[in-house]
């Protein structure tokens, strides 16, 4: 019986591209630059990071979404979420907002600081066709609700979604049981340290180093991935990552692919052109802001 575990390798690199969104917020986009830079079920990953208020102060005024989930993870700073349903959420350093846009939401994300560092990520995750028109919902996850696991070599993992296995221990993140079964880890490794973890062989996965660089795959054939680049991984049952000489911090994201058609028009992500046309019509007619009950 063959018990060899296949280690995933670096299959493709999507370098982060400097751009802006909202009312001029400067950010770096890796996944989501175009139709060819998605990784089912992940649609987009933006990193925002600046000490200059001019890069972020205008924020993201009211805008619509339909058909997917947005995950905002704040490393440093304070943003306020408000929407047309009257929901208000305070997203502060170390916290996460997991928003399921479903059939429609109009919301804003505005800085609540006039100076200092604003740093974090926004991830877009697709919804299966059967869930695209369900009511909008939210999880505002406080830093204290996100478990942090110590690794044997001095590293640490923040478990936002999915389950981390360290030795005989299982550490479960606050997000579980979604259709795409996402895994979302924020990992910090000291210089030269290695992180190894099993992954479902059928799931797509990528890494995003945001401090330092990393090497991916078995030591004898590993490949380097530099900071602010998304590294799409090959199929396999395990991931092996080594930090460079200065240590590294990186995101590990994995999820069950939906294998459904993706038709996107800005903030609307559906399965057919007709559904996009309906989304535009619903937004223009004001249907998005009607009672969703």
Contact call for residues 221 and 277 (beta carbons, < 8 A): no
**pLDDT of residue 200 exceeding 60:** yes
pLDDT in tens, 23-75: 788 999 999 998 789 999 999 999 999 888 888 888 888 899 999 999 999 99
pLDDT level of residue 2 (50, 70, 90 thresholds): low
pLDDT at site 3: 65
Which stretches does DSSP call E strand in 66-192? Answer: 68-76, 78-83, 88-92, 96-100, 105-111, 118-126, 137-141, 148-150, 156-161, 163-166, 169-172, 183-189
pLDDT in tens, 143-191: 999 999 999 989 999 999 999 999 899 999 999 999 999 999 999 999 9
For 121-137, what is the mean pLDDT?
A: 96
**pLDDT of residue 292 exceeding 70:** no
pLDDT in tens, 93-104: 999 999 999 999
pLDDT at site 66: 96
pTM, rounded to two decimals: 0.95
pLDDT in tens, 254-266: 999 999 999 999 9
pLDDT in tens, 182-199: 999 999 999 999 999 999
Strands 268-270 and 238-243: unpaired
CA neighbours closer than 13 Å in the CB half-sphere of residue 192: 1
Mean pLDDT, the chain, as a whole number? 93
Q: Which contacts of 153-157 are long-range, i.e. CB under 8 A and separated by 24 or more positions?
A: 153/189, 153/190, 153/193, 153/194, 154/190, 154/193, 155/187, 155/188, 155/189, 155/190, 155/193, 155/195, 155/243, 156/187, 156/188, 157/185, 157/186, 157/187, 157/188, 157/195
pLDDT at site 1: 47
> How many Cβ atoms are within 10 Å of 81's Cβ, its own excluded?
20
Q: Percent of the chain at pLDDT above 70?
A: 97
DSSP secondary structure string, 116-131? S-EEEEEEEEE--GGG
pLDDT in tens, 208-251: 999 999 999 988 889 999 999 999 999 999 999 999 999 999 99
């Amino acid at each position: 019986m063959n018990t060899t575990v296949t280690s995933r390798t670096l299959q493709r690199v999507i370098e982060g591209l400097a751009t802006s969104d909202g009312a001029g917020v400067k950010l770096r986009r890796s996944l989501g630059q175009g139709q060819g830079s998605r990784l089912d079920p992940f649609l987009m990953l933006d990193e925002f990071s600046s000490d200059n208020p001019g890069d972020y102060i205008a924020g993201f005024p009211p805008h619509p979404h339909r058909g997917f989930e947005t995950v905002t993870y704040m490393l440093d700073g304070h943003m306020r979420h408000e929407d047309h349903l009257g929901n208000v959420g305070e997203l502060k350093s170390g916290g996460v907002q997991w928003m399921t846009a479903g059939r429609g939401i109009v919301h804003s994300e505005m800085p609540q600081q006039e100076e200092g560092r604003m740093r974090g990520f926004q991830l877009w995750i697709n919804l299966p066709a059967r869930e695209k028109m369900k009511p909008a919902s939210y999880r505002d996850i406080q830093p204290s609700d996100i478990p942090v696991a110590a690794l044997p070599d001095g590293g640490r993992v923040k478990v936002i979604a999915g389950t981390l296995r360290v030795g005989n221990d299982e550490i479960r993140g606050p997000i579980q049981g979604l259709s795409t079964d996402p895994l979302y880890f924020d990992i910090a490794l000291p210089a030269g340290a290695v992180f190894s973890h099993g992954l479902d062989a059928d799931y797509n996965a990528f890494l995003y180093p945001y401090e330092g660089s990393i090497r991916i795959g078995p030591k004898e054939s590993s490949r380097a991935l530099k900071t602010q680049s998304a590294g799409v991984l090959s199929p396999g049952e395990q991931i092996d990552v080594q930090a460079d000489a200065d240590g590294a911090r990186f995101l590990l994201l994995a999820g069950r692919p939906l294998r459904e058609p993706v038709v996107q028009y800005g903030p609307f992500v559906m399965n057919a052109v007709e559904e996009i046309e309906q989304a535009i019509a619903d937004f223009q007619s004001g249907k998005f802001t009607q009672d969703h009950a």
